[in-house]
Structure 1
Amino acid sequence: MKKTAVAPSNIAFIKYWGKKDEALRLPSNGSISMNLSNLLTTTTVEFDDQYKKDEVVIEGSTEMRDIQKVIAHLNLIRNRANIKTYAKVMSQNNFPSSTGLSSSASGFAALTVAAAAAAGLSLNEKETSILARIGSGSACRSIPSGFVEWLDGNDSESSYAESIYPPGHWDIVDVVAVVSREKKEVSTTDGHRLASTSPFNELRLSHVSKRIAECKKILKEKKFTLFG
């Protein structure tokens, strides 16, 4: 079966840094974000017996560093769907990859939706968010629409994102100026690993819950001066 999905990137108002479980991509803290409707990944997944191995093409290339992550995610979905069929994946962004614009979020969100549908899975939004998170943490935030909260949780089933306000709740925009298409030198994954080495990490984590509550209140009341 062949399916195509489109997913947005997202921008975090309160970021998460660090993971309490690397394999499950459980974040050290929750976060608040907004989806970016014009920064999109379009992904097509086809499971077919004609394929003798997984074929993954990202941005027209079969040499991208994320290809093994994509295959691992396909394996996760195959196991859940109880199938062994190989797949062909075609993925394209309308913005530069690996430049700090959360291409992995939109990429793994689109991959999760397309692959799950192509594999015959019927998942609700929470289940899809959980599955996307295992591929790339912030991808879980690109599954719900609008303004989103990622609940950090204590295990895989309790760590997922949900919409707190719909896209039309507040008419604000994020202006993205692409000044370079060069890939960033330090990956986000490495950044998360380094978070725990900061002398301010524990202090930051102790304040996050309060900041999330404040951010949700500001979003509710649409107070841009406080938000900024």
Structure 2
Amino acid sequence: MSAEPLRERTRTAATAVAHANIALIKYWGKADEGLIIPHTSSLSLTLDDLHTTTSVVFDEALDTDEAALDGRRLAGRALARVRVMLDLVRARAGLDGVSARVRSRNTVPTAAGLASSASGLAALAGAAAAAAGLDLDDRDLSRLARRGSGSAARSVFGGLALWHAGHDDASSYAEPVSSPLRLAIVVIVIDAGPKPVSSREAMRRTVATSPDYPAWVRRSAGDLAEALDAVRTGDLPRLGDVAEANAFGMHGTMLSATPPVRYLTPASLAALRTVWRARRDGLPVWATMDAGPNVKAITSAADAEAVARRLRADLAGVVPETNVIVAHAGPGIQVRRHPAEAR
């Protein structure tokens, strides 16, 4: 790791583009809240069309940090979350006391269970580190992104990514996984609005109160081993089966929490039935869900458009307001340094 002299750094901005990812084997619950160390390792697919673009400049002329998302100034908890990442970068780069200007644009609906925090915090980590003059390898950047949002550790990488839960800051990071499979996710957007319960609050409640959570954690290790063997051998049905079971095991732990956390809505259940009917009729498609009402359908890249057509047709009569999006495997984070714009 290296850093440029302060005078040079404060004239330099950086922009990063990071893509959302959907977990096939889930991360749910933290063993260490401060470092965001998870109870379970996880496996995800980074997606092509759902991404966040973030620019950061450290500027000695600023009195305080400023951040905006899609043209709206952030304040309160949202700004505090940005500052956590900026403080981590400032501490590593020797920029204590230098404020930053952050501008982000999102193609991912925010806080809707579509991994906006993964793409958003990965992009912020990449842009802030580069603007501060830090030279981080992919593993270090994954560890840094994790400190903002756990799933952001995986958005540093394209395609399939494995996040090792680890036991401390150094051992908890993601890395890419190679596979002969060419996967796609068909996203059924039922509600793009914010979730009624944030993922962080839902995780805390589940870990603290669900009697089913310890058993899900134990089972998840076996699910991950089976999923990794399936992706490495190109066995899509085996991957789909274990991914679907892992997701609904996770939702089961939420339902047994006190009070219960229920993200599934009647529209979610209707969408799930369309996925299961499509599979019964011969299409290679399996369902997964994260924290939110939206349903994701795992399939092959070659079958994605056929799956989407089938789901749109079946949903038209029961949940007509849904939006069905086809997302293929996407790239890893892209970061570039550039001169700061004059203000």
Give the TM-score band, short-chain normalised.
Answer: over 0.9
Report the structure number with the largest CA radius of gyration.
Answer: 2
The residue type equivalent to 1:19 in the other structure is K
Q: Within 1, Cα distance between the matches of 2:100 and 2:138? A: 23
Q: Which runs of 4 or more aligned residues in structure 1 lie more than 6 Å from their structure 2 counterparts after TM superposition?
A: none
RMSD: 1.2
Q: Is 2:225 the counterpart of 1:213?
A: yes
> Aligned in 2, Cα 1:63/1:46: closer, same or farther, shift over 3 Å?
closer
Deviates more, 1:207-216 or 1:105-114: 207-216
Q: Which residue of 1 aligns with 2:134?
A: 121
**1:62, 1:174 → 2: CA distance?**
32
Deviations 1:36-69 (A, max 9, x none): 1110000000111221111100122114642111
- Residue 202, structure 1, aligned to residue 207, structure 2: no
Aligned to 2:55: 44
Looking at structure 1, the residues matched to 191 and 212 of structure 2 have their Cα atoms a distance apart, in angstroms, of 30
The amino acid across from 1:218 in the alignment is A
CA distance in 1 between partners of 2:221 and 2:193 (Å): 35
SS of corresponding position for 1:149: strand
Residue 194 of structure 1 deviates from its aligned partner by: 1.6
Quote the offset at 1:178 in angstroms. Answer: 2.2
Deviations 1:76-115 (A, max 9, x none): 1001000132110001111211100010000000000000
Between the aligned partners of 2:79 and 2:25, the Cα distance in structure 1 is: 29
Question: Percent of counterpart pairs with the same letter?
Answer: 42
Aligned position for 1:190: 201
* Whole-angstrom CA distance in 2 between matches of 1:111 and 1:14: 25
Are 1:146 and 1:163, in contact at CA under 8 Å, matched by a contact in 2? Answer: yes
Alignment gaps of 5+ in structure 1: none
For 1:133, the equivalent position in structure 2 comes to: 146
Q: What is the Cα deviation at residue 180 of structure 1? A: 2.2
Q: Tell me the SS of whatever aligns to 1:156.
A: coil
CA distance, structure 1, for counterparts of residue 214 and residue 108 of structure 2: 34
TM (normalized to structure 2)?
Answer: 0.64
1:100 aligns with 2:74: no
Q: 2:21 aligns with which of 4, 7, 10?
A: 10
For 2:220, the aligned partner's letter is V
8 Å CA contact 1:10, 1:33 repeated in 2: yes
Number of residue pairs matched by the alignment: 226
Contact 2:21/2:44, CA 8 A, preserved across alignment: yes
The match for 2:190 is: 179
Judge conservation of contact 2:64–2:100 (CA < 8 Å) in 1.
yes
- Provide TM-score, normalisation by structure 1: 0.95
Letter in 1 for 2:182: D
Name which of 56, 61, 64 aligns with 1:53: 64
Q: Report the 3-state secondary structure (helix = DSSP H, G, I; strand = E; otherwise coil) of the residue aligned with 2:136.
A: coil
Unaligned regions of 5+ residues in structure 2, if any? 1-11, 241-343
CA distance in 2, matches of 1:144, 1:181: 25
Q: 2: CA distance between counterparts of 1:3 and 1:178?
A: 32
Q: Of the candidates 5, 15, 27, which is equivalent to residue 38 of structure 2?
A: 27
CA contact (8 A) 2:29 2:206 kept: yes
Secondary structure, in 3 states, of the residue corresponding to 2:170?
helix
Q: 1:18, 1:194 within 8 Å by CA — same for their partners in 2?
A: no
Whichever residue aligns with residue 59 of structure 1, its letter is D
Q: Look up the match of 1:62.
A: 73
Counterpart-to-counterpart distance in 2, 1:106 and 1:144: 11
Alignment partner of 1:157: what SS? coil
